[in-house]
Amino acid sequence: MAAHHDSHGHAFDREALVEQYEFSAKAKRIIFIILGIGLLFTVIGLFQIMSDSGHHAEHASALLSGNELASAADPAGGGAAHGGEHHSAYHWTTRLKANLWVNVVFFSGIALLAGVFFVAVQYVAAAGWSVGVLRVAQAFGWFLPVGGILMLGTFLWGSHELFHWTHDYLYDTNSPQFDAIIAGKQDFLNTPFFLGRMVLFFAVWILFFFMMQKHTFAQDIATSLDEIKRRHRILVKLSAGFIVFLGVSSSIAAWDWVMSIDTHWFSTMFGWYNFASWWVTALAAITLTVVMLREAGYLKFVNENHLHDLGKFVFAFSIFWTYIYFSQFLLIYYANIPEETIYFVERLSTHYSKYIFIILFLNFAFPFLFLMTRNAKRKHTTLKIACIAVIIGHWFDFYQMITPGTLKENGAFGFLELGLPFVFIGVFAYIVASQLSKKALVAKNHPMLEECVNHHI
């Protein structure tokens, strides 16, 4: 199986294409520097918000004391008492929990869509051009178990601060805080069912990931053409099954992990919107990693034609995300129903409004203009700039989806918001690089490897 002749009669040596990535000391040092910077900024940010929380508590205490005096003078002054209760409810750990949730949802989505969905799509579509980057994409999936554990831990620690619907008094008809709308969603929004869905989704996603890993690596060591074809057929069937399951589970996960934060609000397009943001970020992350590997001397047969295809994906799905974003906004805007518009009112009429414009620039205007030309999609420098911008832009997208609902007026962007993403990037990069170093970078027995090598557009 090592060599055969292609359609033009030229010898095609698969073994000659096999490369082994070395996780060098230099690469480890860079990752540890990123981790160190992230931890430093996170610690500074924690001290900063603890200090701010102390001042906030003093202000709330003074406000509450004033309200008590007002209540003595006017026993009916319930509005002031409500204001004091509102201010005293915030604690600095809430901001830490919210930021952990933003990052674990964001990076778990990248791992899922890059490490499993991207690979599955290539098998189902019988795509040849992408064979050279499949191993890069697969390595992203190894973050999924880490993401699942972090997500479960973060929810168990901060469910009441992150998800308003987890409070029991909302469902008690005798409570003054009873909420008929949230109570009507109790069959779906309850902690046991929520946790069950979370565990089920991660378990099935990880199971598909490991099964696909098993068969792709078994195909590498297969010695007969029949065995190679058998493994390929299994991978196609697994991929088709995964895509069907993901179609359902990714939408429900978006409702659970993001949309239910704003419990009264709902959007029938939100599953697609969340998926689009994850997907284009995953494509940008794959493209950025491929470019970095090429610059380090690996993936020699991956040429500017393959880069062009990856660049087209990032370009196209940036526009797709914008289409979903605008469609969701437009439907809510012209219907002008209060329970729908509140989501955008809370983001456009507060200090969060600036993030909307950052998101639209980084996720649409910049990649649309920057990657429009053919040459831009074939150059390392332009691809790196565009992909980094898209990844940052979509992190802000998840930040503005989650933070206003969890922190309200207490949300901000400081050292903590800057540091935690660096920590996650460092952990993510270390997992991906270590996994890339364990197996060959090229799926040498993939039936379409020859097509990939000869790919030209």
What is the predicted pLDDT for the residue at 83?
33
Buried b (16+ CB within 10 A) or exposed e, 133-166: bbbbbbbbbbbbbbbbebbeebbeebbebbbbbb
Burial tier of 15 (Cβ tally within 10 Å: 0-12, 13-18, 19+)? exposed
Confidence of residue 64 (pLDDT cuts 50, 70, 90): very low
What is the predicted pLDDT for the residue at 245?
98
Confidence of residue 428 (pLDDT cuts 50, 70, 90): very high
What is the predicted pLDDT for the residue at 66?
41
Confidence of residue 53 (pLDDT cuts 50, 70, 90): low
Percentage, residues of the chain above pLDDT 90: 83
What is the distance between the alpha carbons of residues 436 and 8, in angstroms, rounded to a whole number? 33
Confidence of residue 417 (pLDDT cuts 50, 70, 90): very high
pLDDT(128) > 60:
yes
Q: What is the overall mean pLDDT for the chain?
A: 89
pLDDT tens for residues 185-236?
A: 999 999 999 999 999 999 999 999 999 999 999 999 998 999 999 999 999 9
What is the predicted pLDDT for the residue at 51?
85
pLDDT(284) > 60:
yes
pLDDT(182) > 70:
yes
pLDDT(8) > 80:
no
What mean pLDDT do residues 3-9 have? 46
Burial tier of 80 (Cβ tally within 10 Å: 0-12, 13-18, 19+)? middle
What is the distance between the alpha carbons of residues 282 and 391, in angstroms, rounded to a whole number? 8
3-state secondary structure string across 19-36: CECCCCHHHHHHHHHHHH
What is the predicted pLDDT for the residue at 85?
30
- SS3 (DSSP) at 84: helix
140 or 1, which is more confident?
140
pLDDT(295) > 80:
yes
What is the predicted pLDDT for the residue at 69?
36
What is the distance between the alpha carbons of residues 367 and 370, in angstroms, rounded to a whole number? 5
pLDDT(70) > 80:
no
What mean pLDDT do residues 16-38 have? 94
What mean pLDDT do residues 440-444 have? 90
78 or 370, which is more confident?
370
- SS3 (DSSP) at 425: helix
What is the distance between the alpha carbons of residues 108 and 131, in angstroms, rounded to a whole number? 24
pLDDT tens for residues 73-113?
A: 443 333 333 333 333 367 889 999 999 999 999 999 999 99
Measured from the Cβ of residue 330, the count of other Cβ atoms closer than 10 Å reads 10
Torsion of CA 421, 426, 428, 433, to 10 degrees: 160
What is the predicted pLDDT for the residue at 5?
47
pLDDT(412) > 70:
yes
Confidence of residue 13 (pLDDT cuts 50, 70, 90): confident
pLDDT(239) > 90:
yes
What mean pLDDT do residues 146-164 have? 96
What is the predicted pLDDT for the residue at 223?
86
What tokens appear for 113 in the block? 């869509």
